[in-house]
C-alpha cells in the first residue's frame, strides 16, 4: 500500500492546541455568549459552558496553537531516517509564521501528512493563519483545488478504507502495529492543564513530537517497511 508515495516528499505534522484563555471567566462577554451557543449540542446534560471550556482548544475560533511538530524523511543507501523539529511557545503568530516560512522554502509537491489531519490539523492551521493575517502556503491552500490536486495524506483516512463511520485513534493503531505508544506521558485531554496550570511547554513539545514519530512509523507500516529504530530518529533543536 502507498507504493506511489515517495517518503522524501512527506512532511508529517501534528499540532497541539489550547483554549485562548486559562478559564471561562477570562473570556470576553460576547465570546462567552458565542461559546455557549457553539457548544450547546456538545455539552452533557447539566454541564455548563464554563465547565466545558477546557475543551476550547478543539475549535479554531476559540483556541490557539501552542506547538507544531514536523517530521521529514530521508533515505541514504536504502536506510530510512526521520528528522523532527518543533515550533512552540506562547506567541501563536510566531509559531505559524515559522511553519509557513518552512513550507514556502519547500516544493509545492510536498505532501502534508497527519493522523486525522483532514478533519483537524490542516483546517485548524488554515483558520488560525487567516486569523493571524498570515498568507497560506501553497501546501495548505486547498481553496479551488480538485480533490486529487490536494497533497494531503491522512493516516486515519487511509485506515478507514472507505468506512466513513469508523474513527480509529493513533494510540489504537500504534498498539495493533506494535509501535511505541505516544501516550506514555500525557494525552490530548491534558494539554490544557499542562499549558495553563503547569506552564510546561517542553512537556507539550515532547508529546507533540511523539505523535509525529508515531504517525511516521505508521506510514512505514502501511508501506510494509521496517520501523525506525531510535538511532535513525533525530530531534532538531
pLDDT digits (tens, 9 = 90+) for 174-188: 999 999 875 677 777
CATH of the domain at 160: 3.30.420.10
| b/e sequence 181-210, b meaning 16+ C-beta within 10 Å | ebbeebebebbbebbeeeeebebbbbbbbb
Residue 13 lies inside a defined structural domain of this protein: yes
Residue 90 lies inside a defined structural domain of this protein: yes
Residue 222 lies inside a defined structural domain of this protein: yes
Q: Which domain holds residue 120?
A: 7-20+62-236
Are the beta carbons of 32 and 49 closer than 8 angstroms? yes
Percentage with pLDDT > 70 across the chain: 98
Which residues fall within 8 angstroms of residue 96, CB to CB, at 6 or more apart? 65, 68, 125, 128, 129, 132, 134
Residue 208 lies inside a defined structural domain of this protein: yes
Residue 45 lies inside a defined structural domain of this protein: no
In tens, the pLDDT along 34-64 reads 999 999 999 999 999 999 999 999 999 999 9
Residue 185 lies inside a defined structural domain of this protein: yes
Are the beta carbons of 215 and 235 closer than 8 angstroms? no
Residue 52 lies inside a defined structural domain of this protein: no
User: Measuring CA to CA, how many Å separate 138 from each of 11, 15, 70, 163?
Assistant: 14, 19, 17, 29
Residue 50 lies inside a defined structural domain of this protein: no
Number of domains in the chain: 1
Amino acid at each position: 500500500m502507498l507504493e506511489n508515495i515517495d517518503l522524501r516528499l512527506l512532511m508529517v505534522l501534528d499540532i497541539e492546541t489550547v483554549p485562548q484563555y486559562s478559564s471561562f471567566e477570562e473570556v470576553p462577554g460576547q465570546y462567552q455568549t458565542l461559546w455557549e451557543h457553539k457548544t450547546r449540542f456538545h455539552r452533557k446534560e447539566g454541564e455548563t459552558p464554563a465547565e466545558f471550556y477546557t475543551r476550547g482548544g478543539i475549535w479554531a475560533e476559540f483556541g490557539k496553537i501552542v506547538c507544531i511538530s514536523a517530521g521529514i524523511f530521508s533515505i541514504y543507501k536504502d536506510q530510512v531516517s526521520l528528522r523532527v523539529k518543533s515550533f512552540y511557545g506562547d506567541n501563536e503568530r510566531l509559531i505559524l509564521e515559522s511553519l509557513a516560512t518552512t513550507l514556502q522554502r519547500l516544493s509545492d509537491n510536498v505532501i502534508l501528512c497527519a493522523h486525522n489531519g483532514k478533519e483537524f490539523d490542516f483546517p485548524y492551521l488554515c483558520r488560525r493563519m487567516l486569523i493571524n493575517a498570515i498568507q497560506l502556503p501553497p501546501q495548505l491552500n486547498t481553496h479551488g483545488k480538485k480533490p486529487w490536486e490536494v497533497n494531503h495524506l491522512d493516516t486515519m483516512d487511509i485506515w478507514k478504507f472507505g468506512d466513513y463511520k469508523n474513527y480509529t485513534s493513533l494510540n489504537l493503531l500504534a498498539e495493533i502495529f506494535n509501535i511505541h505508544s505516544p501516550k506514555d506521558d500525557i494525552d490530548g485531554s491534558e494539554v490544557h492543564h499542562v499549558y495553563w496550570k503547569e506552564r510546561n511547554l517542553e512537556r507539550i513539545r515532547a508529546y507533540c513530537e511523539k505523535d509525529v514519530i508515531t504517525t511516521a512509523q505508521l506510514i512505514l507500516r502501511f508501506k510494509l517497511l521496517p520501523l525506525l529504530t531510535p538511532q535513525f530518529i533525530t530531534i532538531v533543536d
